[in-house]
């Protein structure tokens, strides 16, 4: 009965399209932006990666998979590739942990000045990376930079450290600055997650004489864990877009020691320092990198789903 009546009232496909014409009209501005700056580049990159192409006004020659073949043997590419993932896998856990601690402390509504503290922790987020690049390179300077002076005064160091000039240190310095800059955003995500814990629960725990650290560890944390996966995913994706910070601070140097994937792409495509720009080759690097990230993301989502399903079947 129900099915026959629904097929009978369901108009033909063309009629349905015409019926939703106003919906499509609403989609036009959004789809223009989405198509031009997100969808088109996604597919154009794949085509460009098959070209020999030295500059935006130069001729394009189709060379098949030669760019990819060359990439696979390029040491600088693999170094940058690995560095991007190393950077992400080292910053994300620290960033999540530090921001979680801040969020748990600041979630206490009775805490004095908690709004002010929140704002102060958020300040680096609203500071443009170009500015951070300048200020940090002065502050961390081995020549009378305040950090080195303070550490020398406190006898923590015998010699000043060249935080941004030492190939062994530079990536970790950048990672620390990155975490400092973005902890504020992750903290807001955690604060949002903490708001889902009902206030009665805290009250009940207090009346039962449960200590607040016990409450946090055994009740609150397990409750907000589902959010952790989403937050980790968002943080990981942002950490792969580290170009502005690295370009503003070190431009990938010294001796390529901080060259992450996007800096590598930028160097090959735009900042070639006299050499011929290689747009096709840089595109191939971008496609390879993007595909790897998407592959990892899909794996992560599948793993999460698998875990959730297992939890469900176990729970029932």
Q: Which is nearer to other proteins, 65 or 230 (CB)?
A: 230
* Nearest residue (CB) to other proteins, 1 versus 207: 207
Instruction: Give the Cα-Cα-Cα angle 185, 37, 32 (nearest 5 degrees).
Output: 110
**For residues 96 and 293, what is the distance between their CA atoms, to the nearest angstrom?**
20
Q: 90 or 238: whose CB is closer to other proteins?
A: 238
Torsion of CA 52, 286, 173, 96, to 10 degrees: 180
CA 226 to chain centre: 19
Least Cβ distance, residue 314 to other proteins (angstroms):
26
Taking the complex as a whole, the smallest distance from the CB of residue 192 to other proteins amounts, in Å, to 3
Shortest Å distance, C-beta 102 to other proteins: 9
Least separation in angstroms between residue 69's CB and other proteins is 20
Q: Could you tell me the two tokens for 229? A: 């996966």
Cα–Cα distance for residue pair 305/316, rounded to 1 Å: 17
Beta strands (DSSP E) in the chain are 51-53, 60-62
**Based on CB atoms, which residue is closest to other proteins, 141 or 171?**
141
User: In the complex with other proteins, which residue's Cβ is closer, 124 or 161?
Assistant: 124
The two three-digit tokens of residue 206, written as one number: 């207090």
| 253 Rama sector, left if φ>0, alpha if ψ -120 to 50, beta otherwise | beta
CB of 115 to other proteins, least distance (A): 8
């Amino acid at each position: 009965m129900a099915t026959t009546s629904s097929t009978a009232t369901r108009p033909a496909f063309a009629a349905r399209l015409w019926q939703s014409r106003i919906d499509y009209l609403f989609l036009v501005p959004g789809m223009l932006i989405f198509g031009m700056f997100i969808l088109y580049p996604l597919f154009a990159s794949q085509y460009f990666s098959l070209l020999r192409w030295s500059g935006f006004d130069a001729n394009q020659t189709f060379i098949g998979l030669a760019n990819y073949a060359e990439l696979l043997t390029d040491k600088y590419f693999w170094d940058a590739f690995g560095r991007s993932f190393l950077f992400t896998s080292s910053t994300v856990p620290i960033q999540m942990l530090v921001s979680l601690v801040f969020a748990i402390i600041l979630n206490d509504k009775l805490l004095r000045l908690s709004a002010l503290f929140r704002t102060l922790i958020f300040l680096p987020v609203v500071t443009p990376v170009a500015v951070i690049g300048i200020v940090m390179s002065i502050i961390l300077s081995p020549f009378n930079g305040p950090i080195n002076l303070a550490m020398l005064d406190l006898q923590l160091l015998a010699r000043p450290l060249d935080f941004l000039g030492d190939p062994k240190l530079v990536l970790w310095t950048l990672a620390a600055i990155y975490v400092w800059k973005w902890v504020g955003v992750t903290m807001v995500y955690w604060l949002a997650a903490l708001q889902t814990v009902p206030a009665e629960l805290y009250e009940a725990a207090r009346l039962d004489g449960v200590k607040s650290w016990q409450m946090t560890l055994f009740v609150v944390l397990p409750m907000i864990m589902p959010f952790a996966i989403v937050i980790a995913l968002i943080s990981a994706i942002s950490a792969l877009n580290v170009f502005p910070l690295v370009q503003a601070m070190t431009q990938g140097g010294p001796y390529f020691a901080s060259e992450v994937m996007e800096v590598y792409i930028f160097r090959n495509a735009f900042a070639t320092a006299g050499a011929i720009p290689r747009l096709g080759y840089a595109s191939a690097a971008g496609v390879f990198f993007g595909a790897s990230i998407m592959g990892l993301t899909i794996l992560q989502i599948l793993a999460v789903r698998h875990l959730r399903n297992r939890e469900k079947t176990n729970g029932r």
